[in-house]
Structures are given as structure tokens and as C-alpha cells.
Amino acid sequence: MRTYFLDFRFPIVVAGLEALTTVEKGRGITKRFVRRVGQLATEFGVNLSKREIEQAYDLRSEVAHGRSFLYDLHGVLPQSDHRSLYDKLESLLRTVVKNCLLDEKFGRRFADDKAVLANYP
């Protein structure tokens, strides 16, 4: 997370959010990711729109699967907006992980697949 290059950072921060929210396999993973991350953003007051979360997931997919680097993904999101979106995602991830560690009741929401499904349908 300390590297300067967002090409490395985007996949990591999105993967962190995925690890917390994605418990099913198969079709519809993107929609569930967008919905659950949106719920977390609302809960913690991070101003992330559904469209921004979709863009973040698309950027992660393109970079993580080696299709392109961020500088060439202006069709997904203009390069000038990459940093601000990344900052929102990292802020959300840091806040969620911090609360998992400091608030046992909140942390139990992510204890297993059933808990995630019950708390973030």
C-alpha cells in the first residue's frame, strides 16, 4: 500500500474489500460487490457512488488480469479521477478493518460466509 503506483494499489485495496464482502462464487459477483461495498460506504459515511464502485471493480479487473495499465483505462474512468477514487476506497477499507479489530460485535459480521450474508444481503 505504500508504493507510489496506483496500478499496484488499486487491485490490493479492491481485493481487501472483496475479501470482506464476497462469499459466493459464480455469476453476479460484481453486483454483489457493488451492493455490499455501497452498504459499508453508507454505514461509515464514505461518499462512494454505485458508479464509482463499479468503476473501481472494472479498473481492478483490467489491471489485475494484465489487460492494461491505469493510464490507458480512461474509457473506464478518466485518469484525473483515479487518485480520488482510490483514496475513498482505501479510507473505507481502513475504517472497516479498524472497526473489525476494535469492535468485536462489528467484527463478527465478517466471521464467516453466513454472517456476511446475514449482515450484507
Q: What is the mean pLDDT of residues 42-52?
A: 94
Residue 60 belongs to a domain: yes
Residues 6+ apart with CB under 8 A from 49: none
Is 80 exceeded by the pLDDT of residue 71?
no
Query: Nine-digit cell at 91?
Result: 479510507
Look at 99 and 67; give whichever has higher pLDDT. 99
Q: What is the mean pLDDT of residues 54-75?
A: 64
Is 80 exceeded by the pLDDT of residue 40?
yes
Is 80 exceeded by the pLDDT of residue 26?
no
Residue 87 belongs to a domain: yes
Q: How confident is the model at residue 67 (pLDDT cuts 50, 70, 90)?
A: low
Residue 103 belongs to a domain: yes
CB 3 within 8 A of CB 9: yes
pTM: 0.81
**Domain residues for 13?**
6-119
Q: What is the mean pLDDT of residues 22-37?
A: 86
How many domains is the chain partitioned into structurally?
A: 1
Residue 1 belongs to a domain: no
Mean pLDDT rounded to a whole number for the chain: 82
3-class secondary structure, 77: coil
Is 70 exceeded by the pLDDT of residue 105?
yes
Is 90 exceeded by the pLDDT of residue 46?
yes
Residue 34 belongs to a domain: yes
